[in-house]
Amino acid sequence: FQLSAFFNNVNELGMTGDDGNAGPLLMLPTPEEEAELENKRDRIEELEAALIAHEAEVKRAGTYMEARVPEDGLDLDLVSYFPFDHSTGDSTPNSVPDGKEGKTGGGTLTVVEGPSGKAISFDSDYDFLQVAEAGNFERSDPFSVTVWLRPDTSGAYTRIVGNAFHKNTYWRGWEVYLDSLNHLSARLIHALPHNYLHVRSTKPIAKNDWTHIAVTYDGSSRADGVQLYVKGLRVPVVTEYDKLYKSILPVDGLYRLTSRPMRIGRSYRAFGGDDGIFLGDMDELRLYARTLTTSDITTLAGVPAREEDELAAYLNYYDARYIRLLRELKEARVEENTAVNEVMEVMVMEEMTEPRPTHILERGLYDQPRDQVHPETPEVLGLLPDSLPPTRLGLAQWLFSSEQPLTARVAVNRYWLMFFGQGLVVTPEDFGSQGALPSHPELLDFLAVTFMESGYDVKAFIKSIVMSASYRQSSIASPALLEFDPANVLLARGPKHRLTAEMVRDNALAAGGLLVNQVGGPSVKPYQPPGLWIEKGNFSQFLLHYKQDEGDALYRRSLYTFIRRTSPPPTMLVFDAPDRSTCFVQRQNTNTPLQALVLLNDPQFVEASRALAERVQHEAPESVTAQIRRGFRLATGRTPSDQEVLLMENLYTQEKERFAARPADIDSLFSVGELVADASLDRTNTAALTMVTQLILNHDEAYTKR
């Protein structure tokens, strides 16, 4: 439990979307992107400083005295206004010209008396309102919301207004709501739990009493750019989270921009039971595409104006330079937002500011916590030194310290396993009391120490293995040696074992000259039988259908093949690749008829055979015999014997006669895969050689290391 405490302090949710990367995420800008972002952010800082300086100058001059909101000021940038005075049935009109009406989710609106004429009452799950084409704000857009509320209940999350969606877009959007203690809260969300801002009031909103509330946002992407007002007065807030750096515009399940209706009285949340249903009354809901001034809000709340509000009213309504600077600032923020949205992100783990408590769980049951414990390493392996922090960073430093040889011992044993087929410790997943003892303890010690002293240089370590006398031995063994040491524990001969699933495919592609050696990049989707993914019950939009890649992506190393755990690539499964549902330190190594059928019929191996046939015709044009020898050498690493060549020449002759008599079979063969046949070569000859190269790739030496 102490070891688990290192990882119990990670900022993550217990629920994620069906697609996309789950936070926390780390931005990885290119040098060019980083320079561009720095320039744009410098411009934003310049404009913000200019606004502050101009405000101070106006304040010193005193020219703002007695400034008031103009008569039409409350109509400026008003994008939706619902007075609720004419609500009927399942809709309520929008008083803004061309504004969309509010439609219920199936319920019937109940009209009650409000602080200004009629109001509506939300008293069922389906009384919420949806307003199309309203409230689709970006994080660079200033906006404000005001409304009169009379909540009936408290004790649960209840949405007032917003368009934040559910987990499948990581709750993207914005929302104003009451939390479980009836605190007024506002959130602007790109993705939970790492890219959003959240502020809440320090005091709750009263139940069963009309209260005017307002939320303003200035487009800064900072928590201090959000202000909360209750009864016309700005109230103290608590900043729950302040890290918003990407778009909050609504997206659909495929992460394409969309126009999501704004909801009033209920959230879009699902899957967690917190539907955000508001129970109570609302009146006079207004939505603005600007930051309201305090004077605006006092007017809407019906409270007297104050002298200290005159400066903001003057600057926002009458000061041309201030208004121009605001416009330029918004444009600069839009440019920065556009640039940052293009930056790639990668999933990481992130420490929480306040450590999450970890407890001993009675019999491992999460609902039976006992004594609290703190991060610590197992005593048998050595305790964490006081010089290291009790965090994941400290754990990593401890794992790779000179006082902790276990990491290096496990690692070198894994590398040894890769090259020799079995480790010096034959239970690589268990170095404990239940595991096997090392066959060569001094060798394991030497390799571990050498690896540590090299600074964990993997390339140098692998070079030392493949250049060693043990590895370079012949794998041929006498009957007596096989009887005495069948598992080659004594390392008296070279390794002999079947290649891994990835290497079998890569070797075939490399022999045919198809393998793309590009390093890095996104996962790829090579050939796979159609219809496998759609047969799996799933909610993912991206994984609903398998979309095969094209061009070089079909021939990249198998390391880059996209793995879907519920439906892994079948070719790899046949050759014992795990499905990634759990961690496998050591794979099975089976030999089944299905593997031979894959090598003969799988499109990627048929295509690789044809590519190999074309390659040898170019590289050994002098004779068929030379072509057969060249193809065998490319696939197996050795030169074939004369008897092997004779057998393959006979096969070539038979197949050439067959293809000459049945040209349609050539068309059928050449139609397999995306590779276009080389028109400069004789089709019949290429088809016959393809049958020979298929035989070569099915030879056990093409997928067995000896």
Band the pLDDT of 45: cuts 50, 70, 90. Answer: very high
Pair type for strands 110-113 and 118-122: antiparallel
Instruction: State mean pLDDT over 616-639.
Output: 96
Band the pLDDT of 222: cuts 50, 70, 90. Answer: very high
Instruction: State mean pLDDT over 174-199.
Output: 95
Instruction: State mean pLDDT over 682-688.
Output: 96
* 145 closest CA partner among 39, 240, 226, 247: 226
Instruction: State mean pLDDT over 246-263.
Output: 91
Whether 280 and 152 have beta carbons less than 8 Å apart is answered as yes
Instruction: Give the pLDDT score at 37.
Output: 97
Cα distance between residue 297 and residue 283, in whole Å: 15
Q: Cβ contacts of residue 15 below 8 Å, gap of 6+?
A: 167, 271, 272
Instruction: Give the pLDDT score at 166.
Output: 84
Residue 272 has pLDDT above 60, yes or no: no
**What does the block give as tokens for 202?**
């320090």
Residue 568 has pLDDT above 70, yes or no: yes
Greater confidence (23 vs 206) lies with 206
pTM over 0.85: no
Whether 135 and 163 have beta carbons less than 8 Å apart is answered as yes
Residue 270 has pLDDT above 80, yes or no: no
Q: What are phi and psi of 445, to 5 degrees?
A: -60, -45
Residue 574 has pLDDT above 70, yes or no: yes
Instruction: State mean pLDDT over 431-455.
Output: 93
639: left (phi over 0), alpha (psi -120 to 50) or beta: beta
User: DSSP H helical segments within 140-212, as ranges?
Assistant: none
Cα distance between residue 11 and residue 194, in whole Å: 8
Instruction: Give the pLDDT score at 532.
Output: 84
- What domains can you pick out in the chain, each with its CATH number? 2-25+352-399 (no CATH), 70-307 (2.60.120.200), 406-484 (no CATH), 496-706 (no CATH)
Residue 273 has pLDDT above 80, yes or no: no
Instruction: State mean pLDDT over 662-684.
Output: 95
Average model confidence (pLDDT) for the chain? 92
CA distances for 403 relative to 3, 379, 444, 453, 680, angstroms: 18, 13, 17, 12, 64
Q: What percent of the chain has pLDDT over 90?
A: 75
Cα distance between residue 552 and residue 517, in whole Å: 10
Most confident of 167-181, 203-217, 337-351: 203-217
Greater confidence (271 vs 154) lies with 154
Residues 325-346 have pLDDT tens digits of 999 999 999 999 999 999 999 9
Instruction: State mean pLDDT over 668-685.
Output: 95
Instruction: State mean pLDDT over 61-83.
Output: 89
Instruction: Give the pLDDT score at 155.
Output: 75
Band the pLDDT of 17: cuts 50, 70, 90. Answer: confident
Instruction: Give the pLDDT score at 537.
Output: 57
Instruction: Give the pLDDT score at 271.
Output: 57
Instruction: Give the pLDDT score at 12.
Output: 81
Cα distance between residue 511 and residue 200, in whole Å: 64
Instruction: State mean pLDDT over 378-399.
Output: 91
3-state helix, strand, coil in the chain (%, to 5): 35, 15, 45
CA distances for 420 relative to 110, 328, 468, 490, 497, angstroms: 77, 66, 12, 12, 8
**What does the block give as tokens for 123?**
């008293």
Cα distance between residue 603 and residue 588, in whole Å: 25
Cα distance between residue 160 and residue 200, in whole Å: 14
Q: Cβ contacts of residue 103 below 8 Å, gap of 6+?
A: 90, 91, 129, 130, 131
Instruction: State mean pLDDT over 661-669.
Output: 95
Q: Cβ contacts of residue 690 below 8 Å, gap of 6+?
A: 606, 609, 610, 612, 613, 669
Residues 523-554 have pLDDT tens digits of 999 999 888 887 655 667 778 788 999 999 99
Residues 290-327 have pLDDT tens digits of 999 999 999 999 998 787 788 888 999 999 999 999 99
